[in-house]
Amino acid sequence: MAHEETVYEALDHAHGGEGQWAFGTGFDEPLAGVDTTVPEGIDPTDLGVYCLMLGDDALVLAQRLTEWVTAAPELEEEVAIANVALDLLGQARLLLARAGSVGVLGRSREPATDSIPDEDALAYFRDPDEFRCTALVAAPNGDFARTMVRLLVASSFRLAVFTRLRESRDPVLAAIAAKGVHELTYHRDHAARWLVRLGDGTEESSRRAQDGVEVVWPLLTDLFVPTDVEQRLTAAGAAVAPSAVRDEVRDVLAEVIGRAALRLPEWPADTPPRGRVGEHDPELAELLGTLQGLAREHPAATW
C-alpha cells in the first residue's frame, strides 16, 4: 500500500474509506501505510508500554463483554453488547499493533509464533503479569446491572482520556484516539441509559443497580493514579495523566447515578497502581486462559 498523506487517512483507507475500522475484520495489517516513526522527544519504550495499558484495557473488557453473548436479558441488548466488544477489540488491535511497532515485544519469539503479527503475539502469548490492564476491566462481570455500572465507569474514563489524546504528539496514537472517541461516546451513553432505567425501575432492579455501584466503586482506587511511564509521556506531550480526567469522570458518574435515583458512594482513596504494573488478581489469569487457549494450542493456525 502506498504511504498515505496522513495517519487518519491511512487508517480510514485500510477499511474501505467508510470510517469503519474497529470491527475486527477487513484488514491484515492494522497500521499498513501508516508512518510509525516515533516523534523526537518521545521514548519508544514508554510509548509502547502506554499503548499496552490502553490496549489491554480494551482487550480484556471486550473479552468480559463477550461473556454476555447468549446470556443478555434481551436479544437486542445481546447484539449491542457484542458490538461494544467489537469496537473495543478494534481499538485493542490498533493499540497493540502500535506497541509492537515500537519494539515493545523486546525479545525474540519462539519459532512457532515467529510469523504471528505483533498485535496477535501481544494478545495471545503474554502471561498475566505482562498485561497492563486495570482491575476495573479485569474483575468478573457479576449480574447485568453490575456490568452496566462497570461499562459506564470504564467508558467514561476512556472517553475522557481519548478526547485529550487526540492532541498527542504521537500522530498514530492521536489518530487512534480520534477514531475511538465516537465509539466510546456511544458506549458511555448506552451504559448510562441502562443504569437510569434499572435504578429508577422496580424495587429489585434498583437494588441490583445499587449493589453494582457498591461493588464497582472500590475498583476505582488506582484508576486515576499515574504511573511513572504516564508521567514521563505526559510531560513529553504524548500521553494523558489519568489524574487530569478525575473531575470530569467524577461529574459524569455523579450525574448519571443521581438521575438513576441511586446513592453515590464516597470516592475511594487513591492507592498505588497495581494492574498497570502487572499485579493482578487471579481472575485475570482465568480470563486469559479462555482468551488465549486456542491460539496457544494451535499457534500457527489461520482461518
User: Could you identify the residue written with the cell 488478581?
Assistant: 281
Residue-by-residue DSSP string for 116-162? S-HHHHHHHS--GGG----HHHHS---SHHHHHHHHHHHHHHHHHHH
Q: Please tell me the predicted confidence (pLDDT) of residue 25.
A: 42
State pLDDT tens for residues 92-129: 999 999 999 998 886 545 555 666 788 999 999 999 99
Residues with Cβ within 8 Å of residue 264, at least 6 apart in sequence: 213, 253, 254, 257, 258
Between 14 and 71, the more confident residue is 71
The distance between the two most distant Cα atoms of the chain, rounded to a whole number of Å, is 59
Average pLDDT over residues 225-244: 98
C-alpha cell at 250: 467524577
Q: What is the CATH number assigned to the segment(s) 41-297?
A: 1.20.1260.10
State pLDDT tens for residues 275-292: 999 999 999 999 999 999
Q: Which among 127, 112, 68, 118 is positioned nearest to 92, based on CA atoms?
A: 118
Residue 90 has pLDDT above 90, yes or no: yes
Residues with Cβ within 8 Å of residue 243, at least 6 apart in sequence: 224, 225, 226
For the chain, give every domain's residue range. 41-297
C-alpha cell at 249: 469522570
Q: Please tell me the predicted confidence (pLDDT) of residue 174.
A: 96
Output the average pLDDT for the chain. 89
Q: pTM for the complete prediction?
A: 0.88
Q: Please tell me the predicted confidence (pLDDT) of residue 118.
A: 87
Residue 91 has pLDDT above 60, yes or no: yes
Average pLDDT over residues 148-163: 98
Average pLDDT over residues 120-142: 96
Between 5 and 22, the more confident residue is 5
User: Could you identify the residue written with the cell 500521553?
Assistant: 239
Residues with Cβ within 8 Å of residue 12, at least 6 apart in sequence: 18, 19, 21
Q: How far apart (Å, rounded) are the C-alpha atoms in residues 172 and 11?
A: 9
Average pLDDT over residues 6-22: 46
State pLDDT tens for residues 243-278: 999 999 999 999 999 999 999 999 999 999 999 999
Listed range (128-137, 153-162, 202-211, 293-302) with the worst mean pLDDT: 293-302
Reported as type and span, the H/E element at residue 284 is helix 282-297
Q: What are phi and psi of 179, to 5 degrees?
A: -70, -40
Between 13 and 202, the more confident residue is 202
Residue 185 has pLDDT above 80, yes or no: yes
Average pLDDT over residues 167-196: 96
Between 31 and 292, the more confident residue is 292
Average pLDDT over residues 127-136: 97
Give yes or no for a contact between 288 and 240, defined as CB atoms under 8 angstroms apart: no
